[in-house]
Copies of this chain bind each other. A is one copy, B any other.
Amino acid sequence: MTAEPFSVGLLGHGTVGSAFAELLEARADAVVPITGLRPELAGVLTRSRGDFDEILERSQLIVELLGGVEPAREYVLRAIAAGRHVVTANKQLLSQHGEELWASAREHGVQLRFEAAVAGVVPVIRVLQESFAAAAIDRVHGIVNGTTNFILSEMARTGADYEQALAEAKRLGYAEADPGDDVSGRDAAAKMAILARLAFDSPVHLDQVPYEGIERITPDDLEYAREFGLGLKLIGTAERIDGGLSVRVHPAFLYAGHPLASVAGPFNAVTVESAAITEVTMSGPGAGGPQTASAVLGDVISAMIPPASTPEPSQRLELVEDVASAFYLHLEVADRPGVLGQVAQLLGLQGISVKSVVQKGLGENARLVMVVHPTLESRFFAACALIERLDFLRSAPRAIRVIEEEFV
């Protein structure tokens, strides 16, 4: 089929960039019947080669796969100002400078698309922006970091400890040499900032998203929790609370019925809840060069057809700091009478009630593992601070949030 060319300028030629260049060539023919145009690479900018101005001049659309804030921010702003559509996979950039970029895209009447920035090829961005545009979303839960989901799956499956599972993730290419942003939860926090912005139509900056990582999770926690029917995930949450908004990332237990409970290995998944839609879950590979490149190509095709934009935020929701959670609490204590009673009393003073409890003797010591009903986190941590001072405690209490909902 003969068709007019559509020229794409590519910034970045790492794993995703080179996979995209390959995919674009392989699928160019398939794009023609959809768009009436044949996409082709107008130029590639790498750290050592290529000139941005020259590539911009020759391109109708810019694909930004450099990662990091600068010079990506400058290039994207200049491309937008020059009237070019932009497709990016850059979560750091969007979670810190999104409003500036979206405002500029609106001003210049160009599209800024970013499906690949969150959950790879799982089309959560498009679905939030388009399908659920008027769904009045109440909550988004996401497993949005494949590295940590692989590590936790591996710990649960094999009984390995954190360090062993991390080593295995590195060996298989699921973790980078420096996995700091992944295991600390910061990468997931950036992605949740972007999802929250879209779901709640209110500005959210990475700095407003508290996060907790998986470095301190022990095989013990996983084993005990299994007795309660719980599985552990690094969960991002964005939810409306009393007219405000809470966005956060932390490890949390899920009951087996939760749609995210069965998401294993390096996969990502996002659940969106509202009265209008009940609950919709999307899952799939969250990373990988070819998969992420595929999400980028989907955006390029959409940008070749119709206008789409991120509208100006229609509201500015307050970001809520103290939210209610159920908790798993693990205590190593001296095995003597009255221990459970004293712990329960301290919890009771904070209005916290216990849902289930397992106590195991270990010679002179005992292990007390319980799940408590949802309570304001400030109250729970206040109770923990009091419990920590009890003289029969053998080590610091370990607390992990539990997501309680069971679906269908």
State the A residues within 8 Å of B (CB): 23, 27, 30-31, 33-34, 115, 121-123, 126-127, 130-136, 201, 257, 259, 261-262, 264-267, 275-285, 288, 290-291, 293-295, 297-298, 301-302, 305-308, 311-312, 314, 408
Q: How far is the CA of A373 from the CA of B27 in the complex (A)?
A: 34
- Of A283, A285, A293, the most chain B CB neighbours within 10 A belong to A283
Contacts of A265 in B (CB 8 A): 408
Contact B127 A127 (CB under 8 A): yes
Interface pairs A-B: 9 shortest CB-CB:
A306-B306, A280-B284, A265-B408, A123-B131, A276-B294, A33-B314, A27-B134, A131-B298, A278-B285
Task: Check A31–B284 contact: CB distance below 8 A.
Answer: no
Alpha-carbon distance between A346 and B364 when the two chains are bound, in angstroms? 64
Asked whether, in the complex, the Cβ of B298 is within 8 Å of the Cβ of A132, the reply is: yes
Q: Could you jot down 14 A-B contacts, CB within 8 Å?
A: A30-B134, A31-B134, A121-B278, A121-B280, A123-B130, A130-B298, A134-B298, A135-B294, A275-B290, A277-B291, A277-B294, A280-B284, A281-B281, A281-B282
Q: Are B126 and A301 in contact (CB under 8 A)?
A: no
Q: Please tell me if the beta carbons of B135 and A131 are within 8 angstroms of each other in the complex.
A: no
Q: Which residue of B lies closest to A149 (CB)?
A: B408
Which residue, A257, A277, A278, has most C-beta atoms of chain B within 10 A? A277
The answer to whether A277 and B121 have CB atoms under 8 Å apart is yes
A291 and B265 CA atoms in complex are apart in Å by 31
Tell me the complex Cα distance, A277–B262, Å.
19
Cβ–Cβ contact B34 & A298, under 8 A: no
| Closest chain B residue to A281, Cβ basis | B283
Chain B, Cβ-Cβ closest to A132: B298
Select the residue from A123, A280, A305 with max chain B CB neighbours within 10 A: A280
Report yes or no: A284 in contact with B281, Cβ–Cβ below 8 A: yes
Asked if B136 and A30 sit within 8 Å, CB to CB, the answer is yes
A115 touches B131 (CB 8 A): yes
Give 13 A-B pairs besides A33-B201, A306-B306, A306-B308 with Cβ atoms closer than 8 angstroms: A121-B131, A121-B277, A121-B278, A123-B123, A131-B295, A133-B302, A134-B301, A278-B284, A278-B291, A281-B281, A281-B284, A305-B307, A305-B308
Contacts of A266 in B (CB 8 A): 408
What residue in chain B is nearest A267 (Cβ atoms)?
B408
Return chain B residues, CB-CB under 8 Å to A23: 276
Q: How far is the CA of A201 from the CA of B34 in the complex (A)?
A: 10
Determine the distance from Cα of A283 to Cα of B302 in the docked complex, in whole angstroms.
24
| Alpha-carbon distance A33/B129, docked complex (angstroms) | 12
CA distance in complex: A280, B130 (Å)? 18
Q: With A127-B126, A127-B127, A282-B281 known to touch, is A276 a contact of B305 (CB < 8 Å)?
A: no
- CB nearest neighbor in B for A299: B131
**Closest chain B residue to A130 by CB distance?**
B302
A277: which of B30, B34, B127, B285 is its contact (CB, 8 Å)? B285
Q: Residues of B contacting A308 with CB < 8 Å? A: 305-306
Q: Which residues of the partner chain B approach A130 to less than 8 Å between Cβ atoms?
A: 123, 126, 298, 301-302
Q: How far is the CA of A314 from the CA of B294 in the complex (A)?
A: 20
Q: Which residue of B lies closest to A127 (CB)?
A: B123
Q: What B residues does A27 contact at CB under 8 A?
A: 134, 136
For A134, the chain B residues whose CB sits under 8 A away are 27, 30-31, 34, 294, 297-298, 301
Chain B residues closer than 8 Å to A122, beta-carbon distance: 280
Chain B residues contacting A288 (CB-CB under 8 Å) are 278
Q: Measured between C-beta atoms, what is the minimum distance from A276 to chain B in Å?
A: 4
Once the chains are docked, how many angstroms separate the CA of A27 from the CA of B266?
37
